Structure 1
């Protein structure tokens, strides 16, 4: 069972990273890759290699692998839901200096303003749990910081666009990376 779970975790993880890589050319549309996005891409590559090593070099509890795999699959589902909802928008790479020219408020965007970043964080958290080592928390923390900084930067750019008022109303009613709890 453990070898089968190692294979499942490794395969699902590589597939999800492959989907994320595809989105750089197949979904997001920036004229060039910003330096910050190059750093993210390098971090993804290094973390992928590190986590693959951890999956195959250590023995993990079955429960950790199952929970991690479940989170990875949930992240993949959220990612594709966000792709579907934002297909017609011209979303840009993280850290792109250009101002946004569209606002997506359907699909997962009804719940969170940054479903792609939420997807990435859930994925890396799942894979870290599946490796079952405390060292895996370090890259997850780094990714959380990177994605929060990217999201905050994207949000600040809306203020200087014709979408500013609409975005502010959207921001008040929608969660940042996790859904807002209903107010009583």
Structure 2
């Protein structure tokens, strides 16, 4: 396959993969997570996802990317998807809420990817956006990726603070000490 044909084929694969992953994330909003009401912070994330999806689609199709960047970005997206579904599988019986939900947590998941990292969904989202950003091969993609990192870190830290006000506080503190925040901790696993 000629270089230009390879780039176009990868543009198609990256577009389809990215849209399927965004679709998975959208499905999880109804099929996995639940909250009594939609928090404002969650609405901000949803708007950012929509805008970034359109922006990255524009970048993929308007700029020529090197094949290694496309392949590496695609590999990151696939890794993110695997982490996402592993986290879905591990937390399907828990009643996880939307990001920025003001209610206190009433369950603690410590299996699957939660064995290594406390926020595997946010980890998967960050890896996905970073992968798609790499696949666009432009510095402009870093802006939304950094914004997502900031948003997800703020959401995760807020969730961790809420555990201190629940009967799960001591258990969560022990869990927090043995696991990574967004990056896995494998020691003693």
Which of 99, 108, 128 lines up with 1:103 in the alignment? Answer: 108
For the pair 1:50 / 2:55, whether they are aligned, the reply is yes
Helix, strand or coil: the match of 2:153?
A: helix
For the pair 1:8 / 2:13, whether they are aligned, the reply is yes
Which of 75, 81, 87 lines up with 2:80 in the alignment? Answer: 75
Unaligned 5+ segments in structure 2 are 1-5
Does 25-34 or 42-51 show the bigger shift? 25-34
Cα distance in 1 for residues equivalent to 2:38 and 2:85 = 22
Matched residue count: 183
Query: What TM-score do you get using the length of structure 2 for normalisation?
Result: 0.96
Query: Offset of 1:175 from its aligned partner?
Result: 0.3
1:1-184 to structure 2, matched below 5 A, reads 1-180=6-185, 182=187
Query: What TM-score do you get using the length of structure 1 for normalisation?
Result: 0.98
Cα distance in 2 for residues equivalent to 1:166 and 1:140 = 32
Cα distance in 1 for residues equivalent to 2:58 and 2:125 = 20
Unaligned 5+ segments in structure 1 are none
Cα distance in 2 for residues equivalent to 1:148 and 1:58 = 30
Query: Offset of 1:31 from its aligned partner?
Result: 1.0
Per-residue CA deviations over 1:120-163 (Å, capped at 9, x if unaligned) read: 00000000000000000000000000000000000000000000
Cα distance in 2 for residues equivalent to 1:105 and 1:181 = 14
Query: Offset of 1:181 from its aligned partner?
Result: 5.3
Query: Offset of 1:180 from its aligned partner?
Result: 2.2
**Post-superposition, which runs of at least 4 consecutive aligned residues in structure 1 deviate over 6 A?**
none
